[in-house]
Amino acid sequence: MNRRSDKHSNQKRNRRPPRAYVGSQSSQEEDMFGALFDGGVVGRFMTYVYPYRKNIWIALVAVLIVTAAQLLIPLIIRHGIDNVILAEDGNATDLFLVILFFALVITINYFANLVQDRLIGITGEHVIFDLRRAMYCHLQSVSLSFMDKTETGRLMSRLTGDVNSLQEFLENSVTAFGDLVLLFGIVVIMLTLDFGLGILTLSAVPTLFLVRMFWLPRARVAFRLARETNSSANGALAEGIRAVQTVQSMRRETVNHDLYDDKVRDNLYAHLKSARMAQVMVPIVDTLTGAAMGIVILLGGMQVINGTLDVGVMVAFLFYVQRFFDPIRSLTIQYSVMQRAMASGKRIFEVLDVPLAINYDPNAINPETIQGSVEFREVTFSYIENQPVLDKVSFTVSPGETIALVGKTGSGKTSITSLLNRFYEVDDGTILIDGIDVRNYSKQSLGRNIAMVLQDPFLFTGTIFDNIRYRTTNATQKDIEKAAQLVGAHNFISQLPNGYNTLLEEQGRNLSLGQRQLLSFARALVADAKILVLDEATANIDSHTEREIQLALKRLLHGRTGIVIAHRLATIRGADRIIVLNNGKVIENGSHSDLIAKKGLYESLYALNHSSFDDLY
């Protein structure tokens, strides 16, 4: 494997330069060494298993039956040998009876096995689906401030990875129960058949436990290292693919090759070590099995010779010994599965414990339509305590009026729109819609009566039709097309090969940003709400598309109450009234001409003649 490297060592520069890395430099630590058993986690997990308790009980009974059958089979063989085959008066009829009994046992075993595996598998699967659904459901209602803080990727890994490791645990734990019963059964039967021989045979077992205790921590370190180097190498690969443009234009191919070589080499060595660790137990278990069998043969054989032991018992012992080490082996594997499950469970319940910051009044009103007046009365709000984003903000908007919110980044514009929709709760003051506190509206009625177009025109995978219709599932094809026409999206949609049935790729990557924004306008139009909030995103849109967007805006706002966060002068001028915000306070409020006449901040901004107030800071 050291085929390379020497050849190039004479190059004028070291090929592993000081400032170069591939892959992430920060390692993602796995919290693998948690508690083996966490009563809280298990208890809560059980509440998800509880609806299936009948299945679980049946499965447990089936497990007992299966284990009993496993234990019975060597005993039947023993009986056949001692009492029929080697008996003075043994005959074919007696043997037939034994075989008949054997057939009965294996048939029962077959059905019990079928019931056990099916019930466990399916129940486990369903519990996991329920749990995932519960998390997903919960996340629909947790406060947005939690969602703001938490990365989607992290939540996704809880929804998938952690949930899967719980599933593994659930499926394994029932088999582990079977293993334990089997182990216990074998011990009891061996001791009952012949106490002395049983004790001697079992004497090999503690050795195994001792060796395991010594081996396990070392092995786990090795396994972990293998996993970590794996994910580190994979991370570097992913980076190499995503950054290929930069890599090629900066000519980093050779340097990266060498650095990646180091990574995969580390990975190789870690895997070789972990393979050695895994395999080293094989001869030990085999030796102990051989020793136990040797004991049975030597001591049991001597007893048989002395006539103090039936040969069938010796045969039965040999069969039991052969089976004995399997459950021990799988139980130690279970150990790490369990540990992983506890850590995962903890993370899952952390998500489920995220408080619902907004409690909806069960007696909230749920009006179909509203007039559309909005009032902010002395509203104070902060994301972080004592750092108010809005400070006693008051203003009113009459039904059908459009106001523009102007101010630099962080002046509180977006917070105003978020509060109107009750994404967050105000610290102080009240927000009123049609003169009624937003806290008295049901969640559905707020969603129905306030439509929003956000800065990021987020689209979902699916057809254009589905995206425009979104949750207004009773909208017809005609409604959709009409909305698209109004916002000026119909033209480009009908030019697509599949028209409205065109599938959008990952978040509409196959459309331009401007086109996506138009679709999000159409979506808001179809939702047909009285109040329309526009967190306008023309900053990202090139000038060529902007005119269409301005036209769409006008149509969209017709006959609705509009609250517009505006960047472009064109939009701001078009508003009925302009509210200028600074540091969370309303400092100016009036029409374009009023504010110009006032010669305040707005006027000085306007005088600079910028195409967009975004350019200021």
Partner 1 sequence: MTQDPNIDSKIGNDAQILWRIVMLCMRYPGRVIIAVGATIIASLFQLAVPQLIGSAVDGALGLIEDNNTVGYSANMALFKTAALLLGVSILRGLFTLIHNYTGEAVGHMMAYDLRLSFYNKLQNLSFSFHDKVHTGELITRGMLDLEGVRMFVSTGLVRLVLLTVLIGVGSYLLLSTDLLLGALSLSFVPFVAYRSAVARLKLRSLWLALQERMSIIGRIMDENLTGIRVVRAFGAENYELEKYKTAADAAKELADQRIKTRVSSTTIMTFAYFIAMGLVLWFGGLRVLEGQLTVGDLTEFLAFMTILQLPVRQLGLLVNSFARASSTGRRLFAVLDMKPNISDKKGAKPLKITNAHVAYKNVSFQYNEKDQLPALHNISFELRKGCSLGIVGPPGSGKSTIAHLLTRFYDVTEGKITIDGQDLRDVTLDTLRRHVLTVPQDPFLFTTSLENNIAYGDPWAKDEQITDAAFIAKIDNFIFGLPESYKTLVGERGVSLSGGQKQRISIARTIMLNPSVMILDDSTAAIDAATEQEIRQLLKTPMQTCATIFISHRLSTLLHSDEIIFIDNGRIVERGTHESLIAENGRYAELHKLQNLSTKNSEHIATKTKEVKL
Q: Least distance from C-beta 11 to partner 1, angstroms?
A: 12
Asked if 587 and 600 touch (Cβ cutoff 8 Å), the reply is yes
| Spatial distance between the Cα atoms of 556 and 517, rounded to a whole number of angstroms | 13
Dihedrals phi, psi of 534, to nearest 5 degrees: -120, 110
In angstroms, rounded to a whole number, what is the distance separating the alpha carbons of residues 106 and 103? 5
Q: Is 221 in the site for partner 1 (CB under 8 A)?
A: no
Task: Single out the segment in contact with partner 1 by CB under 8 A; choices: 95-103, 389-397, 432-440, 480-488.
Answer: 95-103
Question: For partner 1, what does the binding mask look like between residues 413 and 442, x meaning CB under 8 A?
Answer: --------x-x-------------------
C-alpha to C-alpha distance for 169 and 293, rounded to whole angstroms: 33
One-letter identity of residue 404 = A
From 455, 386, 384, 387, select the one nearest 417 (Cα to Cα): 455
Applying CB under 8 A, among 253, 353, 378, 427 the residue interacting with partner 1 is 253
Select from 62, 255, 549, 565 the one that contacts partner 1 (CB under 8 A): 255
Residue 602 corresponds to which tokens in the numbers above? 């707005």
Indicate the helix (H) or strand (E) that contains 92. helix 92-141
Asked if 117 interacts with partner 1 (CB under 8 A), we say yes
Does residue 503 belong to the site contacting partner 1 (CB under 8 A)? no
Closer residue to partner 1 (CB): 374 or 452: 452
Establish if 60 lies at the interface with partner 1 (CB under 8 A).
no
Q: Considering the complex, what minimum distance in angstroms separates the CB of residue 101 from partner 1?
A: 10
- By CB under 8 A, name the one of 2, 7, 10, 18 that touches partner 1: 18
Q: Is 246 helix (H, G, I), strand (E, B) or coil?
A: helix
- Chain positions 167 to 196 lying near partner 1, rule: CB under 8 A, are none
239 contributes a contact to partner 1 by CB under 8 A: yes
Which residue in the block uniquely carries the two structure tokens 């119909």?
Answer: 490
Stretch that binds partner 1, among 42-50, 57-65, 185-193, 310-318 (CB under 8 A): 310-318
From 12-20, 329-337, 379-387, 478-486, give the range in contact with partner 1 by CB under 8 A: 12-20
* Closest separation in Å from C-beta 456 to partner 1: 8
- Side-chain-side CA neighbours of 157 within 13 Å: the count stands at 7
Nearest-approach distance from CB 21 to partner 1, in angstroms:
5
In the 8-state DSSP scheme, what is residue 360? Answer: P
Long-range CB contacts for residues 214-219, cutoff 8 Å, separation at least 24 = 215/277, 215/280, 215/281, 216/332, 216/335, 218/277, 219/274, 219/277, 219/278
Any contact of residue 476 with partner 1 (CB under 8 A)?
no
- Binding flag, residue 547, partner 1 (CB under 8 A): yes
Stretch that binds partner 1, among 37-45, 176-184, 290-298, 380-388 (CB under 8 A): 290-298
Build a one-symbol-per-residue string for 591-610: x at contacts with partner 1 by CB under 8 A, - elsewhere. ----------x--xx--xxx
Rounded-to-integer distance, Cα 133 and Cα 123, Å: 15
* Cα 593 from chain centroid (whole Å): 53
Contacts (CB under 8 A) with partner 1, residues 509-528? 512, 514, 523, 527
Q: Tell me: does residue 364 bind partner 1 (CB under 8 A).
A: no
Distance CA 205, CA 199 (A): 10
